[in-house]
Amino acid sequence: MKDEVTREERVDALGGMGCKRKRVEDARFTQGKGNYVDDIKLPGMLFGDFVRSPYAHARIKSIDASAALALDGVIAVLTADDLRPLGLHWMPTLAGDKQMVLADGKVLFQGQEVAYVVAKDRYIAADAVELVEVEYEDLPVLVDPFEAMKSDVVLREDLVGEDGSLPDGAHGPRKHHNHIFTWEAGEKEATKQVIDNADVVATETMYYHRTHPCPLETCGCVASMDKVNGKLTLWGTFQAPHAIRTVVSLISGIEEHNIRVISPDIGGGFGNKVGAYPGYVCSVVASIVTGVPVKWVEDRMENLMTTAFARDYWMTGKISATKDGKITGLDCHVTADHGGFDACADPTKFPAGFMNICTGSYDIPTAYLAVDGVYTNKAPGGVSYRCSFRVTEAVYFIERMIEVLAIELDMDAAELRRINFIRKDQFPYKAALGWEYDSGDYHTAWDKALKAVDYDGLRAEQAQRVEDFKAGKTRKLMGIGLTHFTEIVGAGPVKNCDILGLGMFDSCEIRIHPTGSAIARLGTISQGQGHATTFAQILATEIGLPADSITIEEGDTDTAPYGLGTYGSRSTPVAGAATAMAGRKIRAKAQMIAAYLLEVHDDDVEFDVDRFVVKGAPEKFKTMKEIAFAAYNQAIPGIEPGLEAVSYYDPPNMTYPFGAYVCVMDIDVDTGEVDIRRFYALDDCGTRINPMIIEGQVHGGLTEALAVALGQEIAYDDMGNVKTGTLMDFFLPTAWEVPNYETDHTVTPSPHHPIGAKGVGESPHVGGVPCFSNAVNDAFRAFGLRHTHMPHDHWRIWKTANQLGLHG
């Protein structure tokens, strides 16, 4: 039989890896038919709402819910006293600490959950919240981690022995009653020696301010206890539905098989929806108590004030180099403000996440890192806002230190980077702080980026601008921001990565239907990344069935295989690998079926796009569609019927995406306003599955980076009041403030990933923040500025200009 379709046409027909496949999710979203948690409506459903503390630190003297309970439509008001008999007034955090579900005698941050009202609708619930009388006795407030480490005020009495002793925390000995842990990596003494004896040392302290992921959809859930069958169904905005199921089982005592957790469509996550929050626990309890479904959805102020802050790292660095700029050592100390409870979402063995990637893209022979976690009267959280665990902090730190060193050396910062990059021939590269970088080609990416923007031309223009400014011809300075970042994503190998003891593998299960279409289920959950589109592309290439014939399903723990969810850019590195591996199992069985159908030995057929062909006789073949039917229709000796596979993938290493970014901005010295003239982003995420989606991820990540660098923060006053609790004060850029970005790429596949992919969703945020910040700092370099803290809003930039004497 003559095959009239060319091989190339057969490849195109699959819609597999590398093509700009349009998203299958978009039909429902563009028509308003997404199904988000607040869209769920069940018969008899009640609404939960919280009474929250107006104080940042206070003792609770009394709670009087009588007026609230007297209101028509109020079903219950839960307090810690109601949860105590169930052992649910506190819950474990992901970081090995515990957190109050409802205030147990005191509150530790403004907005803390004090009582949970259950009512017939959300209006009655809100009315009832106002009627709950809570008497507080205010206590001294600690909002500064350095003060907290010196203060006599004890924030967590539960962590101090009766004799005043300090029992060890989850991560070892504690130095002070407000101290949580010290975490170290690298060689302390050796690093000190190198720095003490170096030609040149640059020192800087930088504050990476507290901010918040702030997805457009807030956190929420619907808990529904079916008392007849003893089954609990919990819908919610969960980035890790299986982990939530296990946690709910452990703390509620309901057996895991009787709990079904469903993440429906999620309106953005960015790390906000990884953890377990008091709202979930209270809703589950309320549903168990009432026997009807209970919905809880936080409002924006509750979201910003209570669930999942990010960053809040004070970082002091010392970097040493030879006179000609070769870096010899790096020392980093972090004081990490974790708020009232340590609820950071990090793998168990990494209380400061992967901060030890802070040697960045550079070949730094000796380094030392120490992180001290501290309690304060701020909200708990410490999530990875669009980054792998604490990687934004690490990359910001090293990329600022490089700039400061360049000033110290009076060198061009691009050249300083170039002479210190890890060379291509050094990979796999063992970094001084422990990680083994899998692959990279930094020089190629860097040179491509600098050429694309005409770097030398930009520097010449900048020099002229400084002259013009000094001559009074302009009031605008020009900043050139550079960043070369190396990320560490795809957590991770079970040998060193777990959350609550759950290994951080991920999974995929595939069922091929008789007519040659398929469904694949994964342990991850999309929050906008387009998994239903891209994972089908991976499979199309692996198993030779069209992507359009493959349904991807995630987020239902009753049907999906166990997995640790979507955050830390782990979906493609881990679940994407599981998808490819499960696809290969399908293919292996298909090969045997094909050989049987073609009446040859298994080894005599080979896979070709969408079929198995007899080696050397391509006219003899069986398509995957034919093979799928045969799997259900023929009794093949020695082969079970059906065509299904499951893979649990334990990655051998992390992946290490990298990129080279350049930002060019003009800064109005008199108003502090910033005009981003150009932003060039080169990303190397290894093998590219869908270039359209990659580009979209880069645009989005850069915009969140712009927000963080130029204005977005969770700020507190001295009393612990949150000053940025609404979108009036918390900066989310609009289309008006955001530039068009230029995207570019190189491709350095991961050597250990089945398809060579590395993950990309977070790279632009990780690389973008230091790039914007470096541009602002760079604009003032000619006037003596070494470093100024983010966020660089108009007021702070104006202040910088003023302090440098630029206002005459």
Residues at the interface with other proteins (CB under 8 A): 22-23, 25-34, 36, 38-39, 41, 72, 122-123, 214-218, 265-268, 270, 297, 299-300, 527-530, 692-693, 695-696, 699-704, 726-728, 732, 734-736, 738, 740-741
The catalytic position among 387, 508, 685, 771 is: 387
Which of residues 353 and 530 has its CB atom nearest to other proteins in the complex?
530
Longest dimension (CA), the chain: 90
Closest approach, Cβ 738 to other proteins, in A, equals 5
Under 8 Å CB-to-CB from 638, ≥6 apart: which residues? none
Q: 713: which DSSP letter?
A: -
Under 8 Å CB-to-CB from 83, ≥6 apart: which residues? 89, 101, 102, 281, 285
Cα–Cα dist 40/35, whole Å: 7
Q: Tell me if 417 sits within 8 A of 359, measured CB to CB.
A: no
Residue type, 153: V
Spatial CA neighbour of 767 closest among 505, 435, 515, 396: 396
Q: Tell me if 650 sits within 8 A of 505, measured CB to CB.
A: yes
Strand 133-138 to 550-554 pairing:
unpaired
Q: Is 626 designated active site?
A: no
Our separate counts of H helices and E strands in the chain read 20, 33
Q: Is 239 designated active site?
A: yes
Which of residues 5 and 27 has its CB atom nearest to other proteins in the complex?
27
CA 655 distance to own-chain centroid = 15
Which of residues 432 and 681 has its CB atom nearest to other proteins in the complex?
681
Q: 216: which DSSP letter?
A: S
Which of residues 634 and 726 has its CB atom nearest to other proteins in the complex?
726
Closest approach, Cβ 736 to other proteins, in A, equals 4
Which of residues 637 and 736 has its CB atom nearest to other proteins in the complex?
736
Angle at CA of residue 450, ends 444 and 453, nearest 5°: 135
The catalytic position among 110, 239, 462, 529 is: 239
Residues linked to residue 181 through DSSP beta bridges, in sequence order: 373
The catalytic position among 386, 465, 570, 781 is: 386
SS3 call for 373: strand
Which of residues 296 and 649 has its CB atom nearest to other proteins in the complex?
296
Residue 594 corresponds to which tokens in the numbers above? 């094909």
The catalytic position among 110, 497, 762, 771 is: 762
Q: Is 387 designated active site?
A: yes
Closest approach, Cβ 700 to other proteins, in A, equals 5
Closest approach, Cβ 368 to other proteins, in A, equals 37
Q: Tell me if 346 sits within 8 A of 491, measured CB to CB.
A: no
Which of residues 304 and 319 has its CB atom nearest to other proteins in the complex?
304
CA distances from 607 to 335, 541, 593, 627 (A): 55, 11, 12, 12
Q: Is 697 designated active site?
A: no
Closest approach, Cβ 239 to other proteins, in A, equals 12
Closest approach, Cβ 775 to other proteins, in A, equals 17
Beta strands in 215-276 (DSSP E): 220-226, 231-236, 259-262
Q: Tell me if 639 sits within 8 A of 595, measured CB to CB.
A: no
Closest approach, Cβ 313 to other proteins, in A, equals 23
Angle at CA of residue 228, ends 225 and 234, nearest 5°: 20
Token look-up 């989005």 returns 700
Spatial CA neighbour of 185 closest among 170, 203, 199, 171: 171
Which of residues 144 and 265 has its CB atom nearest to other proteins in the complex?
265
Closest approach, Cβ 560 to other proteins, in A, equals 19
Catalytically active residues, by annotation: 239, 386-387, 762
